[in-house]
Amino acid sequence: MATQHFAEHGYHAARVGDIALALGIAKGSIFQHFGSKDGLFFEVYKRAVRSFAKYLEVPAEVRQEGFFAVLCYWLARTEHLVHEDWIPYRIYLLGNYGTDLVLKREINRFLISEDPYGTVSFVRFGQERGELRTDLDIEMIVSIIDWMVERFQDALLTAELDPGLFRRQGELAEKKEARIQQFLDVLQRAVGTGHAAAVPEAVLPRRNSRVLKSTTR
């Protein structure tokens, strides 16, 4: 109930009293358990983020193709966040962009300490395969992956929600595939070794195909 309320009203407009009323409990019970509205949202945020799949939770055949194939797999399925996981994704956005500095600091600590997307294991996977540089600090590569993928997924979802913004050249599906390949090329030049295999077209979903996983990044 609290998750839905925050997703629908946003962090600042959400009211603890309304959540308590919907749950049929006293408002004080929520404050007693979570301490504050920030504490309640923080628990909602952690639950939402933990519902997303980790990077390496992909079909075996995709994993066998390597680091950049796995990354391509998730980027190609970004729109699933809007179509089927919009509530946890909305909470994720609110936590990252719609909260105050104190709560944002707690969220950043949680993301670093828990690594809910399995980014550290994912980067080690790429290094063990010889696809990622080992002369860079692993935390640096993890940060680059987190920052760049997050922003790029935001851009892909902008195109998904308002296709007219990116229809200057070609159809949306073809444009999206081209943008993903260009992004992977830039990332590979930054942190890759040059030994990564080309991403097979099979990793990209066919147009209008259904996403089999119940959650995604």
Residues 71-97: what's their mean pLDDT? 86
pLDDT band at 196, cuts 50/70/90? low
Assign 132 to helix, strand or coil: strand
pLDDT band of residue 197 (cuts 50, 70, 90) is: low
**110 in a domain, yes or no?**
yes
Residue 212 lies in a domain: no
Does 178 reside within a domain? yes
The SS3 of residue 191 is helix
Q: Is residue 199 pLDDT above 50, yes or no?
A: yes
What Å distances lie between residue 17 and 26, 39, 88, CA to CA? Answer: 8, 15, 22
* CA distance linking residue 144 with residue 153, whole number of Å: 14
Q: Does any domain span residue 14? A: no
> In Å, how far from its chain's centre is CA 17?
30
- Domain presence at residue 152: yes
Residue-wise pLDDT for 121-141, tens only, equals 999 999 999 999 999 999 999
Q: Which residues contact 47 (CB under 8 A, 6 or more apart)?
A: 3, 88
What confidence score (pLDDT) does residue 209 get? 37
CATH code at 116?
1.10.357
Percent of the chain with pLDDT over 90: 59
| Of 216, 81, 93, residue with least CA distance to 156 | 81
Beta bridge partner(s), residue 192: 132
Q: Structural domain tally of the chain?
A: 1
- Position 103 scores a pLDDT of 92
Which of the pair, 215 or 158, is modelled with greater confidence? Answer: 158
Question: How many Cβ atoms are within 10 Å of 214's Cβ, its own excluded?
Answer: 10
In angstroms, the Cα distances linking 30 to 19, 42, 87, 120, 167 are 9, 13, 21, 35, 47
Structural domain harbouring 199: 37-203
Residue 80 lies in a domain: yes
Give me the pLDDT at residue 217, please: 54
2 domain-assigned = no
Contact 120, 138 (CB under 8 A): yes
Q: Is residue 20 part of a domain?
A: no
